[in-house]
Amino acid sequence: MPKLVNLESSQADNWQLLELESEIPADTNASLLPLESFLVNVEKLDQCGVWLSSADDIYALEPHLSKVSVVAFRFESFMDGRGFSQARILREHLDYKGQVRAIGQFIQDQLHYLLRCGFNEFSVADDADEDSLRESLADFSESYQAGCDVPAPLFRRRA
């Protein structure tokens, strides 16, 4: 079973990743619904997670964010960087305060940038080396540009 790593700790990732054809369970507290399923069923749904592919439009979630406890961005390929922009839009334009999770094919060395773009949870293989992951999360202690972690760019903070 994969694990869910955040800044402080890790735990087993027992979230259920649903596909378009999947049946939506009665209790969706630990379910990640594909965006389309969520939108179609949104009236009936209570707290759940939603996952987006790189091609999905994050703005589609805008009217329903109060129902979404986790927004997960699924990376089909780590070379596809759309998730970075999608997450930033979610945090900075849509002011989302819930969990933003990276799932799928992102790599360890993207962790720091993912963090800066608003991700706070990462679903990784169960045998992933956590110490190494945390080192990568903290690759840089200082950055030039604004990010979700430090919203003031360096030029506003230079002594």
Partner 1 sequence: MYVYDEYDHKIIGERVAQFRRQTDRYLAGELKEEEFLPLRLQNGLYVQRLAPMLRIAVPYGMLNSTQLRKVAHITRKYDKGYCHFTTRQNIQLNWPALEQVPDILAELAEVEMHAVQTSGNCIRNVTTDQFAGVATDETVDPRPYCEIIRQWSTFHPEFAFLPRKFKIAVSGTEEDRAAIYFHDIGLQLVKNERGEIGFKVIVGGGLGRTPIIGSVVRDFLPEKDILTYLESILRVYNLNGRRDNKYKARIKILVKSMGVEAFAKAVDTEWDKVRDSQTLLTEREIARAHSFFTTPEYAELIEDDAQAQLAALTQNNPAFGKWLSRNVRDHKQPGYRAVNLSLKPIGVPPGDVTDKQLEAIADLADRYSFGEVRSTHEQNLVLADVKAADLFDLWAELKAHGFATANIGTLTDMICCPGGDYCSLANAKSIPVADDLHREFDDLDYLYDLGDIDLNISGCMNACGHHHIGHIGILGVDKRGEEFYQVQLGGSQKYDAKLAKVLGPSFAREEVTGVVRKIIETYVDARQDGEAFLATYERIGLSPFKERVYAKAS
| Contacting positions for partner 1 (CB under 8 A) | 78-82, 84-86, 88-89, 92-93, 107, 109-110, 112-117, 132, 135, 139-147, 151-156, 158
Considering the complex, state which of residue 41 and residue 85 has its C-beta at the smaller distance from partner 1: 85
Facing residues of 60 across strands? none
CA distances from 58 to 34, 73, 87, 121, 134 (A): 12, 10, 8, 18, 28
Considering the complex, state which of residue 9 and residue 141 has its C-beta at the smaller distance from partner 1: 141
For the stretch 7-16, contacts whose Cβ atoms lie closer than 8 Å and that sit 24 or more positions apart, written own/partner, are 7/115, 7/120, 7/137, 10/130, 12/126, 13/123, 15/49, 15/70, 15/123
Considering the complex, state which of residue 38 and residue 119 has its C-beta at the smaller distance from partner 1: 119
Least CB distance from residue 101 to partner 1, whole Å?
A: 17
76, 104 Cβ separation under 8 angstroms: yes
d(CA 49, CA 47) in angstroms, rounded, equals: 7
Least CB distance from residue 66 to partner 1, whole Å?
A: 21
Phi, psi of 148 (to 5 degrees): -70, -25
Facing residues of 102 across strands? 73, 122
Considering the complex, state which of residue 20 and residue 154 has its C-beta at the smaller distance from partner 1: 154
Structure tokens given for 47? 């707290």
Considering the complex, state which of residue 42 and residue 89 has its C-beta at the smaller distance from partner 1: 89
Least CB distance from residue 110 to partner 1, whole Å?
A: 8
